[in-house]
Structure 1
Amino acid sequence: MEPDLFTAAAEDRQEKDPAGSPLAVRMRPRTLDEVVGQQHLLRPGAPLRRLVGEGAGGPAGASSVILWGPPGTGKTTLAYVVSQATNKRFVELSAITSGVKEVRAVIDGARRASGGYGKETVLFLDEIHRFSKAQQDSLLPAVENRWVTLVAATTENPYFSIISPLLSRSLLLTLEPLTDDDLRSLLRRAVGDERGLGGAVRLPEDAEAHLLRIAGGDARRALTALEAGAGSAIARGEQEVSLRTLEESVDRAAVTYDRDGDQHYDVASALIKSIRGSDVDAALHYLARMIEAGEDPRFIARRLMISASEDIGMADPTALQTAVAAAQAVALIGFPEARIALGQATVALALAPKSNAAYLAIDAALADVRAGHAGPVPPHLRDGHYKGAQKLGHARGYVYPHDVPGGIAQQQYAPDAVRGRRYYEPTRYGAEARYADVLERVRERLGRGGAPEGDGDSAGAADPAGDSGRQSGT
């Protein structure tokens, strides 16, 4: 009936036998200074500092705190540190396995502990977004009367998943994903700290890099994988957690991939060239390598959008829409689910008909402009809306296409320097075959049928077989 007694007993066992606890638990920070990452919440005077009574401002005075962020960013850790720093009981519940009955039991226990022992309680409620509105309502009396300090954690937008009365009584803190530097610091501390591995093994750079990749910004996942690898190494009598031992322990092969080096560009190039070559299976292989290596999904999405215009173009104009939709999905949902949208877009682009005609067209037009083939805009196309434009002859003689049967007015549009120059030469692949027929009829109506005018120097200004440069990874 007294949850604080069970909690105290569990903590006593952990102190007597720390080696029996998981590494992630043993390395749980005891003070805010030991927390890695989240510096925007931990600088002097920041909300968490004030919450535990640090700084000139004193305690923040909030009776409820909502921590919003992705998994493994330290939500449980911060709740525990708050309880330790304020010398309060710490009780943890999960909204997945608990309901109103369990919440009320904790609240009743908190009221007894406060009245009988003078001990206040921190209630950490994980996955609060899984509670229904009625279940969240049951927390309000305890929050309003400060029977508990509620620290609730959620991975979903609290403005959509948490009731307004609870939000209005809470301090909302947004946690950022941990960086590689944050996780590297944590891993090295775990290897050397007596609470962790105590220097029993070393962690080489290649094994450390693999841990950073598979962690995906999740501190708990990184420490769990390190513990598995270290356990195997120690059992074998090895002095270090080798990459091979780590791969065997976590059942994840290390992908040879440097996000800032040759592999980054080589694999990205192979992905785009496989899409261009319509080999969907090879394209998916390279996509998987990039995902598994921890490549930024936004970089992948950008490559796909470029490919949709450069290699598919008007052969399937919807390809760009598909790639843009995938990029938006990546921004909204992130990994791991974003892999599905990226995979769908990769399949669609690889199997789409291919044409680089639009890509060649804009580069040919740019080549003319850069070569000085521009010239003044024909007078009848110039702006005629301002006072005095008519005196200058601007817009005089312009034929409004909507007033002409067929909607195409036979008049000069291009400057004299490039008059008659053809940049866009459509293929007969996919949907572009229809556009080729349309373009032929349009040019006839414009009086530009037959062979193109000009010497053709700008035609083929872009090399269809060439790469678009190392910077783009293609």
Structure 2
Amino acid sequence: MEPDLFTAAAEDRQEKDPSSSPLAVRMRPRTLDEVVGQQHLLKPGSPLRRLVGEASGGPAGPSSVILWGPPGIGKTTLAYVVSKATNKRFVELSAITAGVKEVRAVIEGARRATGGYGKETVLFLDEIHRFSKAQQDSLLPAVENRWVTLIAATTENPYFSVISPLLSRSLLLTLESLTDDDLRGLLRRALTDERGLGAAVTLPEDAEEHLLRIAGGDARRALTALEAAAGAALSKQEAEISLLTLEETVDRAAVTYDRDGDQHYDVASALIKSIRGSDVDAALHYLARMIEAGEDPRFIARRLMISASEDIGLADPTALPTAVAAAQAVALIGFPEAALTLSHATIALALAPKSNAATLAISAAREDVRKGLAGPVPAHLRDGHYKGAAKLGHARGYVYPHDVPGGIAAQQYAPDAVRDKHYYRPTRYGAEARYADVVDRVRERLGRTAAEDGADRA
């Protein structure tokens, strides 16, 4: 059976009736010169040009390419263009729905196509970061033996999400977000090109600018919105896509946020760093982006609880209870009302005085433990309740603090190796200023020596 029969039939159908495909598909570039953006990858002599045989020496080079970048910037398009330019079969799989069985079937089909028809295959694997290590391992024989030209796409950092053997055998190309000028050129081409809207409607400047804003750098989103707005305008027998028509068609901006990709972590990181920096407005912006993108409110609440201890601590002892209460409320009420609770907590944390003393304290203590600075628990602190403890001298000489005036018993608590360590170094911010005075008095009563900074952090 002809291995690319269905692909060929689909392309033939699209050529005969372009309107049968979405605008984003119809405007898919056919050559590298039609690709929007990514000029750093399209220079003469670039690895991508060599891959399609446009440079001297032909297409020799890596048989695996990894395309890394945010959604909607042309990863699928580049894979398709490579297959067209090299006259190879184009087979697309998504790691969301495909498994090892499907991958092996494509590889076996590629081997038959090469042997039976002399037709090589481009395998485009979208979202490769969703494949497990074992699933990615199944690709290695095909890459090493050049049974397919593998082009894998990912929105995740490939150094973390792609196995080393596959990464070392691949050409890694980092794609950049599309600029407004890139999208503007694409929209104007789609409006006039016969493959697109064929000059059936026009797009005034105010509507174009709004379309660029809601696209958020995503070419597919921009073309989809344009197609919907054009259809609405034509149904009203209007030759122009007015701003009102565009706003009615696309009733709210699609947020640039990928719940499962890098942007998920980037926006969450920006939220916490804005809280840490006390910029309440920036924090609310990132919170809104997460909410509008459909983020799990429990994830947001967990991040806020961490922030309360990591960045505020005892500078405002109410911060953690506020964050915990918010998390409990979110679990009980859910969206949409949970947005109010998350806003409440975010504002409180952003405007609270900041201290990372608790964070530094436990980090320093854990570091010393890792270095082996532990030692035996002092005998007078050991458990003395079990039979035979007295013979071992456990709990002997322990002074019960409640029996001492002031409630502080001057005895050694820490092991010898760290007895003079001062892990907790309170700031003078907010309520922690009171703790700074208290800890100094307590250490003095305990007879703790004032350790030098170098000794504390050794």
Shorter-chain TM-score above 0.5: yes
Q: Flag the 1:44–1:347 CA change in 2: closer, same or farther, 3 A.
A: farther
> Could you list the runs of 5+ residues in structure 2 that have no partner in the other structure?
256-273, 293-311, 320-338, 354-427, 441-458
Corresponding residue of 2:95: 95
Give the distance between the partners of 1:135 and 1:316, measured in 2 at CA. Answer: 48
Structure 1 segment 246-395 matched on structure 2, within 5 A: 246-252=246-252, 284=284, 288=288, 347-348=344-345, 350-351=347-348
Alignment check: 8 A CA contact 1:53 1:59 kept: yes
Corresponding residue of 2:229: 229
Q: For residue 124 of structure 1, report the CA deviation from its aligned partner.
A: 0.6
Corresponding residue of 1:62: 62
Q: Flag the 1:198–1:343 CA change in 2: closer, same or farther, 3 A.
A: farther
Structure 1 segment 114-129 matched on structure 2, within 5 A: 114-129=114-129
Give the distance between the partners of 1:155 and 1:169, measured in 2 at CA. Answer: 19
Give the distance between the partners of 2:171 and 2:253, measured in 1 at CA. Answer: 42
Corresponding residue of 2:79: 79
Alignment check: 8 A CA contact 2:128 2:154 kept: yes
Match of 2:244, SS state, is helix
Alignment check: 8 A CA contact 1:191 1:198 kept: yes
Alignment check: 8 A CA contact 1:287 1:343 kept: no
Deviation string, structure 1 residues 129-172 (Cα, Å, up to 9, x no partner):
11122211221121111111111111111111112221121111
Corresponding residue of 1:19: 19
Alignment check: 8 A CA contact 2:317 2:431 kept: no
Corresponding residue of 2:168: 168
Give the distance between the partners of 1:343 and 1:148, measured in 2 at CA. Answer: 52
Match of 2:81, SS state, is helix
Q: For residue 59 of structure 1, report the CA deviation from its aligned partner.
A: 2.1
> Could you list the runs of 5+ residues in structure 1 that have no partner in the other structure?
256-270, 293-311, 320-341, 357-425, 443-474
- The one-letter amino acid paired with 1:147 is W
Give the distance between the partners of 2:103 and 2:243, measured in 1 at CA. Answer: 45
Give the distance between the partners of 1:353 and 1:64, measured in 2 at CA. Answer: 46
Give the distance between the partners of 2:77 and 2:350, measured in 1 at CA. Answer: 52
Give the distance between the partners of 1:16 and 1:181, measured in 2 at CA. Answer: 32
Alignment check: 8 A CA contact 1:284 1:343 kept: no
Structure 1 segment 186-201 matched on structure 2, within 5 A: 186-201=186-201
Corresponding residue of 2:238: 238
Corresponding residue of 1:6: 6
Alignment check: 8 A CA contact 1:92 1:125 kept: yes
Q: Flag the 1:343–1:163 CA change in 2: closer, same or farther, 3 A.
A: farther
- The one-letter amino acid paired with 2:106 is V
Identity %: 80
Corresponding residue of 2:206: 206
Deviation string, structure 1 residues 81-138 (Cα, Å, up to 9, x no partner):
0011111111111111111221122112211211121111111111111112221122
- The one-letter amino acid paired with 1:42 is L
* TM-score for the superposition, normalised by structure 1: 0.58
CA RMSD of superposed structures (Å) = 4.1
Alignment check: 8 A CA contact 1:122 1:149 kept: yes
Match of 2:4, SS state, is helix
Corresponding residue of 2:216: 216
Q: For residue 291 of structure 1, report the CA deviation from its aligned partner.
A: 11
Q: Flag the 1:98–1:254 CA change in 2: closer, same or farther, 3 A.
A: closer
Give the distance between the partners of 1:188 and 1:169, measured in 2 at CA. Answer: 39
Alignment check: 8 A CA contact 2:27 2:195 kept: yes
Give the distance between the partners of 2:436 and 2:68, measured in 1 at CA. Answer: 54
Alignment check: 8 A CA contact 2:214 2:253 kept: no
Give the distance between the partners of 1:89 and 1:76, measured in 2 at CA. Answer: 14
Give the distance between the partners of 2:132 and 2:432, measured in 1 at CA. Answer: 54
Give the distance between the partners of 2:71 and 2:253, measured in 1 at CA. Answer: 23
Match of 1:29, SS state, is coil
Deviation string, structure 1 residues 202-237 (Cα, Å, up to 9, x no partner):
111111111111111111111111111111111110
Give the distance between the partners of 2:344 and 2:122, measured in 1 at CA. Answer: 50
Alignment check: 8 A CA contact 1:63 1:149 kept: yes
Alignment check: 8 A CA contact 1:143 1:149 kept: yes
Alignment check: 8 A CA contact 1:62 1:171 kept: yes
Alignment check: 8 A CA contact 1:316 1:352 kept: no
Q: Flag the 1:345–1:144 CA change in 2: closer, same or farther, 3 A.
A: same
Give the distance between the partners of 1:159 and 1:113, measured in 2 at CA. Answer: 33
Corresponding residue of 1:299: none
Give the distance between the partners of 1:290 and 1:159, measured in 2 at CA. Answer: 26
- The one-letter amino acid paired with 2:183 is L
Give the distance between the partners of 2:11 and 2:117, measured in 1 at CA. Answer: 18
Match of 1:181, SS state, is helix
Structure 1 segment 359-438 matched on structure 2, within 5 A: 432=430, 435=433
Alignment check: 8 A CA contact 2:233 2:241 kept: yes
Deviation string, structure 1 residues 273-321 (Cα, Å, up to 9, x no partner):
xx99x9x9x99589859999xxxxxxxxxxxxxxxxxxx9x975999xx
- The one-letter amino acid paired with 2:92 is E
Give the distance between the partners of 1:353 and 1:223, measured in 2 at CA. Answer: 38
Q: Flag the 1:147–1:122 CA change in 2: closer, same or farther, 3 A.
A: same
- The one-letter amino acid paired with 2:347 is A
- The one-letter amino acid paired with 2:348 is L
Q: Does 1:38 align with 2:56?
A: no
Alignment check: 8 A CA contact 2:315 2:432 kept: no
Alignment check: 8 A CA contact 1:95 1:127 kept: yes
Give the distance between the partners of 1:183 and 1:229, measured in 2 at CA. Answer: 16
Match of 1:173, SS state, is strand
- The one-letter amino acid paired with 1:180 is D
Give the distance between the partners of 1:17 and 1:155, measured in 2 at CA. Answer: 33
Q: Flag the 1:237–1:163 CA change in 2: closer, same or farther, 3 A.
A: same
Corresponding residue of 1:403: none
Q: Flag the 1:2–1:345 CA change in 2: closer, same or farther, 3 A.
A: same
- The one-letter amino acid paired with 2:85 is A
Q: For residue 432 of structure 1, report the CA deviation from its aligned partner.
A: 3.7
The count of corresponding residues between Structure 1 and Structure 2 is 314
